């Protein structure tokens, strides 16, 4: 088995009485697309900033390509590219000038510069935009340029902070097609996202909650941690049913999915049996029911909302 390219051991960061990241340990292999998920404030950005050598860990350690992310941070920075959620390039410089600037900052050999930039312009579909100021590009093109600048020094690791936020479906798919190609070529992608369909595309996913890693596994493995059945109901009026079901004893939560109500409960079978004997809401019509297979949105909901009674978390720890 190959040595992991990213390794965290007991990584911790505190700010006074606030513990942003708690005893975080995990390993990521070369070529993986690792999705880092968690609610806002879970500690994802703090973790990424520590890995990028921008924040000193309070305790623990982390390495990228065997280099300590803090002690060897200046050497390690050549081993990764970073793409921020917000556009962080130079809007007054052209596409080509931005690429040249970052290539110079990363000390790309001059004899390789021209060929490398041409390849990136082709990969990012930016050849016809090479002389366009970055600030004049569309949102999707800006993100592709930012990705190109993060890759110009050919790093083995790529950190992406919500790279498709605000993009239309076409550019989102284009971005993910590029990430698949990078992974195929051995580049490790560490990505934060709030899109659960994107979490499905990752080779592994880690869930962070209040600074703690709750689970790390492939998407299929995380979905398999559901030990309780997921009940879907068709009811009318649907919004009235949603409100009333949320108030029902034994129901942890209810979500609206494609016009149906998905009920989160560790005792869904018992609830359904009781409702079939006597439906407790005369003002609401129960039309149909079915058992649903959990998807990544269900996984995110269960882990982030603390629906522990529905999960077998030991299976992915």
- The number of folded domains in the chain is 2
Rounded to 5°, the CA angle 58-20-86 comes to 110
Same domain, 37 and 152: yes
CATH number for the domain including 69? 3.40.50.300
Same domain, 178 and 270: no
Same domain, 154 and 237: no
Residue 15's domain comprises: 6-217
- Whether 225 is in a domain gets the answer no
Same domain, 206 and 81: yes
- Whether 311 is in a domain gets the answer yes
Nearest by Cα to 130 from 140, 118, 116: 118
Cα–Cα dist 290/251, whole Å: 17
Q: What is the pLDDT along the chain (317 residues), one digit of tens a residue?
A: 467 999 999 999 999 999 999 999 999 999 999 999 988 889 999 999 999 999 999 999 999 999 999 999 999 999 999 998 777 789 999 999 999 999 999 999 999 999 999 999 998 989 999 999 999 998 888 989 999 999 999 999 999 988 887 778 888 888 899 999 999 999 999 999 888 888 999 999 999 999 999 899 999 999 999 999 999 999 999 999 999 999 999 999 999 999 999 999 999 999 999 999 999 999 999 999 999 999 999 998 998 898 999 998 776 65
Contacts of the segment 123-129: beta carbons below 8 A, 24+ positions apart: 123/148, 123/178, 123/181, 124/148, 124/178, 125/174, 126/95, 129/95
Same domain, 74 and 207: yes
CB 145 within 8 A of CB 126: yes
- Whether 114 is in a domain gets the answer yes
Same domain, 272 and 202: no
Same domain, 239 and 273: yes
- Whether 1 is in a domain gets the answer no
Same domain, 200 and 299: no
CB 6 within 8 A of CB 28: yes
Element at 6 (helix H, strand E) = strand 6-15
Same domain, 31 and 99: yes
- Whether 223 is in a domain gets the answer no
- Whether 224 is in a domain gets the answer no
Same domain, 110 and 191: yes
Cα–Cα dist 91/201, whole Å: 31
- Whether 243 is in a domain gets the answer yes
Global model pTM greater than 0.85? yes
Same domain, 78 and 120: yes
Same domain, 203 and 288: no
């Amino acid at each position: 088995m190959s040595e992991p390219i990213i390794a965290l051991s007991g990584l911790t960061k505190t700010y006074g009485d606030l513990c942003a990241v708690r005893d975080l340990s995990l390993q990521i292999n070369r070529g993986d697309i690792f999705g880092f998920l968690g609610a806002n404030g879970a500690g994802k950005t703090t973790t990424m900033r520590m890995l990028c050598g921008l924040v000193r860990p309070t305790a623990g350690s982390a390495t990228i390509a065997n280099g300590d992310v803090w002690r060897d941070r200046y050497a390690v920075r050549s081993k990764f590219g970073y793409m921020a959620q917000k556009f962080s390039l130079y809007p007054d410089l052209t596409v080509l000038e931005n690429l040249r600037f970052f290539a110079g900052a990363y000390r790309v050999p001059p004899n390789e510069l021209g060929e490398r930039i041409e390849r990136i312009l082709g990969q990012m579909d930016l050849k016809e935009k090479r002389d366009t100021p970055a600030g004049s590009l569309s949102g999707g093109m800006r993100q592709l340029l930012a990705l190109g600048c993060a890759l110009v020094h050919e790093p083995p690791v790529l950190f992406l902070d919500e790279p498709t936020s605000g993009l239309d479906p076409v550019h989102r798919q284009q971005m993910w097609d590029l990430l698949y190609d990078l992974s195929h070529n051995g580049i490790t992608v560490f990505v934060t996202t709030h899109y659960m369909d994107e979490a499905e595309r990752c080779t592994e996913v880690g869930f962070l909650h209040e600074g703690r890693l709750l689970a790390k596994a492939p998407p299929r493995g995380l979905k398999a941690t559901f030990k309780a059945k997921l009940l879907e109901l068709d009811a009318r009026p649907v919004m009235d049913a949603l409100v009333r079901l949320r108030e029902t004893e034994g129901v942890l939560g209810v979500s609206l999915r494609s016009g149906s109500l998905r009920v989160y409960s560790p005792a869904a079978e018992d609830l359904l049996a009781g409702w079939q004997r006597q439906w407790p809401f005369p003002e609401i019509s129960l039309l149909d029911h079915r058992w649903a297979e959990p998807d990544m949105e269900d996984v995110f909901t269960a882990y982030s909302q603390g629906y522990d009674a529905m999960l077998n978390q030991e299976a992915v720890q």
